[in-house]
């Protein structure tokens, strides 16, 4: 590792995944794809199934894992380092649901640690583009328990009990671990998730791999981890839009114990601060801009992602661009207090920011909601 190198915003080489449900729609984001189907572009990742490699600056060629171990909390932040030590906690990706994903569910941290030696997987989708009739599966269309679901699966009737929902450009879908779900065809999304690659499939639409084999199902484990008491409507919230300065809109979309997500729209320029508590993972979903800091600048355009080190300090983004900003947050300081200061009531905050109820349950009664 180079000595005395000042930290700077990092870009990484995309990691492409060729799952059978992919297509070519990532080209709409400006991606230069390899041949064949491309389902996902892992943008910022430090997982055994995919490791980001730095593509800019003095750390070019270094993996994100190497940088996390070498730079510690100066890169990841005091909050992230306290919770996750030398492990980068998020996996940021784009994905092209050119065909239906499998009907699936992800485990929580406890189950994943015991059974998979991995993290649990809570995730959130932000729809970048969708066909007019695009659908997702989310939960069930009626109340279910484990015994009944197992019987439905044995009888081949799973599709009869699934909950379907239409989605459109701009929608946010919050998917806590334990939620049965699938994305339908014609959807292009950004995904922010825990750094995990554990998926339990319940149904794969009877598809075959190119070699004629079927992808494995994981019925028992799926039944173990499904949260049968979850109310699906709680995960389709519109967020809260604020305008902290002229030409800047910040939408508070998700506040989960594992990550917070904001959608930031800049009309001309806006300033931000990485104050040492968490990195900022920025994903450009439309437009073009320039990220400037004390020491340099970096162009950013649709389909690109940037990891801003936690200790970078003040930075600015100039241009006309919409980005997702993800970070490991403090519930009061980063979500509740700023929104209350802008006049939003506690009940309004809780009812419009996805994941906030989960976060409150996780941190306890110290918070005012």
CB 224 within 8 A of CB 178: no
Measure the CA–CA gap between 153 and 151, rounded to whole angstroms: 5
pLDDT in tens, 258-293: 999 999 999 999 999 999 999 999 999 999 999 999
List C-alpha distances in Å: 237 to 95, 171, 172, 322. Answer: 22, 9, 7, 19
The pLDDT assigned to 210 comes to 82
For 149, list phi and psi in degrees, rounded to 5.
-65, -40
Is pLDDT above 80 for 108?
Answer: yes
Which part of the chain has CATH 2.60.120.10?
A: 15-235, 240-363
Q: Which CATH code is given to the segment(s) 15-235? A: 2.60.120.10
The larger pLDDT score, comparing residue 231 to residue 7, is at: 7
Q: Which tokens is 171 given?
A: 């929608």
What pLDDT is stored for residue 1 in this prediction? 53
Known catalytic residues are 201
Q: Token pair of 54, please?
A: 């730095």
Neighbours of 367 (CB within 10 A): 16
283-305 mean pLDDT? 97
- Of 91-105, 173-187, 312-326, 348-362, the range with the lowest mean pLDDT is 348-362
Query: Hey, which CATH number is domain 240-363, 2.30.42.10, 2.60.120.10, 2.60.120.1060, 2.40.70.10?
Result: 2.60.120.10
With 0-12 / 13-18 / 19 or more C-beta atoms within 10 angstroms meaning exposed / middle / buried, residue 192 is buried
Mean pLDDT check: name the lowest of 80-94, 207-221, 261-275, 292-306.
207-221
Q: How large is the average pLDDT for residues 6-23?
A: 97
Which strands form 15-17's sheet, in the order they lie side by side?
15-17, 40-44, 90-97, 187-194, 123-130, 172-175
Q: What is the pLDDT of residue 209?
A: 84
Q: What is the pTM of this model?
A: 0.95
Residue 235 has pLDDT above 90, yes or no: no
- Whether the CA torsion 76, 179, 255, 285 is positive or negative: it is positive
Measured in whole angstroms, how far is the alpha carbon of residue 244 from the centre of its chain?
A: 24
């Amino acid at each position: 590792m180079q000595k005395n190198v000042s930290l700077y915003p990092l870009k990484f080489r995309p990691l492409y995944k060729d799952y059978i449900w992919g297509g070519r729609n990532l080209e709409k984001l400006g991606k230069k794809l390899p041949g064949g189907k491309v389902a996902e572009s892992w943008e910022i990742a430090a997982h055994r199934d995919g490791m980001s490699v730095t593509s800019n600056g003095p750390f070019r060629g270094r993996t994100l894992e190497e940088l996390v171990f070498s730079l510690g909390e100066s890169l990841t932040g005091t909050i992230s380092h306290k919770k996750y030590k030398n492990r980068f906690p998020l996996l940021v990706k784009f994905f092209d649901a050119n065909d239906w994903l499998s009907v699936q569910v992800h485990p929580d941290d406890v189950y994943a640690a015991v059974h998979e030696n991995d993290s649990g997987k809570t995730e959130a989708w932000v729809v970048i583009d969708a066909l007019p009739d695009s659908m997702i599966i989310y939960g069930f269309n009626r109340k279910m328990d484990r015994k009944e679901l197992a019987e439905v699966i044995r009888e081949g009737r799973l599709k009869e009990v699934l909950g379907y929902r239409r989605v459109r450009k701009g929608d946010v879908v919050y998917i806590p671990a334990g939620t049965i779900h699938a994305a339908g065809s014609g959807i292009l999304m950004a995904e922010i998730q825990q750094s995990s690659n554990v998926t339990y499939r319940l149904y794969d639409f009877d598809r075959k791999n190119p070699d004629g084999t079927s992808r494995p199902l994981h019925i028992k484990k799926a039944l173990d981890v499904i949260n049968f008491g979850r109310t699906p409507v709680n995960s389709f919230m519109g967020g809260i839009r604020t305008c902290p300065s002229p030409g800047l809109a910040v939408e508070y979309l998700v506040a989960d114990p594992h990550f917070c997500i904001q959608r930031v729209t800049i009309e001309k320029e806006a300033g931000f601060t990485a104050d040492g508590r968490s990195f900022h993972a920025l994903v450009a979903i439309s437009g073009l801009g320039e990220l400037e800091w004390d020491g340099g600048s970096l162009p950013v355009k649709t389909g690109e992602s940037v990891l801003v080190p936690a200790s970078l300090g003040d930075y600015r983004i100039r241009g006309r661009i919409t980005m997702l900003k993800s970070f490991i947050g403090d519930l009061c300081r980063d979500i509740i207090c700023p929104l209350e200061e802008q006049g939003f009531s506690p009940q309004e905050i809780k009812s419009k920011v996805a994941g906030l109820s989960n976060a409150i349950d996780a941190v306890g009664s110290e918070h005012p909601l």
